[in-house]
A and B are shown apart, each in its own frame.
Chain A
Amino acid sequence: MIVRCEQVSKRYGEKLAVDGLDLEVEKGQCFGLLGPNGAGKTTALKMIYGVTEPSAGRILVFDQDITTHTREIRARLGVTLQENALIEVLSPVENMRVFGRYHLIPAAAIEERIEGLLDFLDIRSHADVPVKALSGGFQRRLAIALSLMNGPELLILDEPTTGLDPAVRLALWNRVRELRRAGTTVLLTTHYMEEAERLCDALLVMDQGKLVARGAPRELIRDVLAPETLEVELPAGRHAAVLGQLSGVRALRSGAHLMLYAKDATALLEAVRRAEPEAQLVAIRPTNLEDVFLALTGTKLEGGA
């Protein structure tokens, strides 16, 4: 086991940021931590790499207690923070040198590592340009390169692709897959359900510090909702009546828009039309992780049935 959290809580005054979290990350896994803003994801990560001390519970990383073996554990992991912390007047290569020294890596080994990472994250073309002149995509890649300087066994990524364009995001996903193939364990948080669905083989959804669901992406979709989604629009004031006739169907409503989850969405559409002939079909599509996420945490949307 690479990470094991046992009944971990973190209290800030009156607020429980993390409440009795149990979490296990196996070797070689890509583990995703999901949840709305303020759910406690970053706090959970900070406790795992030993910057924040849990108020209760125990955390083992590489089978060692993080509170007593902080330095040893951190030497074997890498963290990409939500916000890039780069030295803007220095170039990517100089930033990597500085960061390599934090890990006490010998100078020759640092240069070797830099060579590899310049290619791996495609930074070589701008290796000697001051960071402040680089685009957001380059800066993010450099931030990830820094967290790989020590060749970590566990890579922690806090919202790695927030604010990046689709091309950079795709490229980063491929890098994460390559790292995993080489044996790196990955623990990430994200707001992009597509990212979680594509990269992660285990997920944990948190809300207000508590675990609300866990499992593989496919399992979550199957267990929480249903494989197919029917999206329809109903005339004003007809939602309650229609949902009343479709007993046992999970639904999410947003304005006139209604999303219904079923094994067979086509059959469900017929039932909807029997109840309300003026129902407009918007789409029939496979249920995705975003639906699951909204169903589990989307408190602003009205739940149906």
Chain B
Amino acid sequence: MTVSPRHALSVWQRNFAMYRRSWALNILPNFFEPLLYLVSMGVGVGAYISEMGGSSYLAFLAPGLVAVAAMNGASFEVTYNAFVRLNFEKTYESMLTTPIQPEDVLAGEVLWAVTRASIYGGAFLVVVTGWGLVTPLHALLALPLVPLAGLLFAALGIAFSLRIPTIELFSFYFTLFLTPLFLFSDVFFPLKERLSGVWLYVAEALPLLHPVRLMRAAFGADIPLLTLLFDLTYLLALSTLLLWVASRVIRARLRG
């Protein structure tokens, strides 16, 4: 069965209708998170750091935090929210009484997660542009990377959410997966300058590393083209693979 774009859009519209009502509660608080890191680390810690990766510490942090904002935006949506819709609110069950099929539900949910990622990441990009940490031209270059980063974490999150039996397992996902990614993916320090030997290659497995590096390049950092092509390939390939897995799982889950 293939995705029907119009049915997937109606799933997206369901979430949009719901969040239009409660955006101040749901979207606003999460938006401040990367901003707080930027101020605390960039302005606070940054005062003791003369330069990092060839720029001020504040400017070093900015691109990574844009990717983190996108990661968070997508992750909240496809973890707790999707799990509740699947298991408690019976939302998907009711969608499947209409012509909507499981693949449309998946596509609509992922599209919505990408939308939320774009709202967070886009807003944060506007903030750092206004702050003067990136030129408007480079910010424009970075803009399409925001939904791409969102897509990767939407795919990771939904593939996880569809397979776990209880909602408590999300604490593993956030604390033992997303938090380490956040801390060790080139956001706060140039990871690979601290690594040597085989670890240089192991680090390439970290999903967040790739959108961060792409974002850094868009902000003007000098990164080899081949590395960027690898990052882009990694991002698209892993997203595709995970969505393929998720489409099989959602079909099995919803069609028992």
Contact = CB atoms under 8 A, between A and B. Distances in A.
Interface stretch (A81-89, A115-123, A168-176, A201-209): A81-89
Nearest to B94: A85
Interface string A100-113: 01111000000000
Interface stretch (B2-10, B122-130, B133-141): B2-10
B13 A101 contact: yes
Given A74-B99, A85-B94, A102 B256 contact: no
Contacts of A104: 6-7, 10, 99
A132 B168 CA distance: 25
Interface stretch (A25-33, A48-56, A222-230, A270-278): A48-56
B22 interface: yes
Given A52-B256, A74-B99, A85 B91 contact: yes
A141 B239 CA distance: 41
A129 interface: no
A75 interface: yes
B95 interface: yes
Contacts of A85: 89-91, 93-94
A99 interface: yes
A51 B13 contact: no
Interface size class of A (residues with CB under 8 A): 20 to 34
Nearest to A12: B256
A98 B98 CA distance: 12
Interface in B1-46: 4, 6-7, 10-11, 13-14, 17-18, 21-22
B194 interface: no
B16 to A, nearest CB: 9
A195 to B, nearest CB: 21
Given A51-B96, A74-B97, A102 B18 contact: no
Contacts, number: 71
Contact of B14 (A52, A81, A98): A98
Contacts of B95: 102
Interface size class of B (residues with CB under 8 A): 20 to 34
Given A85-B93, A98-B14, A101-B10, A74 B22 contact: no
Contact of B17 (A81, A83, A90): A90
Interface string A61-101: 00000000011101100110101010101100010011101
B232 interface: no
Contacts of B6: 104
Interface string A130-159: 000000000000000011001000000000
B17 A98 contact: yes
- Residue in B13, B96, B254, B256 whose Cβ sees the most chain A Cβ within 10 Å: B96
B33 to A, nearest CB: 23
B93 A87 contact: no
A70 B22 contact: no
A70 B255 contact: no
Contacts of A83: 90
Contact of B98 (A74, A89, A94): A74
A103 B18 contact: no
A53 B255 contact: yes
B100 interface: yes
B101 A71 contact: yes
B37 to A, nearest CB: 30
Nearest to A70: B101
Interface in B99-149: 99-101
Contacts of B14: 87, 98, 101-102
Nearest to B100: A102
Contacts of A51: 93, 96-97, 254-255
A115 B6 CA distance: 24
Contacts of B256: 12, 52
B97 A79 contact: yes
A90 B11 CA distance: 15
Nearest to A49: B97
Contacts of A78: 97
A87 B97 contact: no
A264 to B, nearest CB: 48
A97 B17 contact: yes
A87 B81 CA distance: 13
Interface string A256-283: 0000000000000000000000000000
Given A71-B4, A98-B13, A89 B21 contact: yes
Contact of A147 (B7, B11, B97, B254): B97
User: 5 nearest interchain CB pairs?
Assistant: A85-B94, A79-B97, A102-B98, A85-B90, A71-B99
21 contacts: A51-B93, A51-B97, A51-B254, A51-B255, A52-B255, A74-B98, A75-B99, A81-B90, A85-B89, A85-B93, A90-B17, A90-B18, A90-B21, A94-B17, A98-B10, A101-B13, A102-B10, A103-B99, A104-B7, A104-B99, A146-B94
Given A85-B89, A90-B21, 13 more contacts: A49-B97, A72-B99, A75-B99, A81-B90, A81-B94, A85-B91, A87-B18, A87-B91, A90-B17, A98-B10, A99-B98, A104-B7, A104-B10
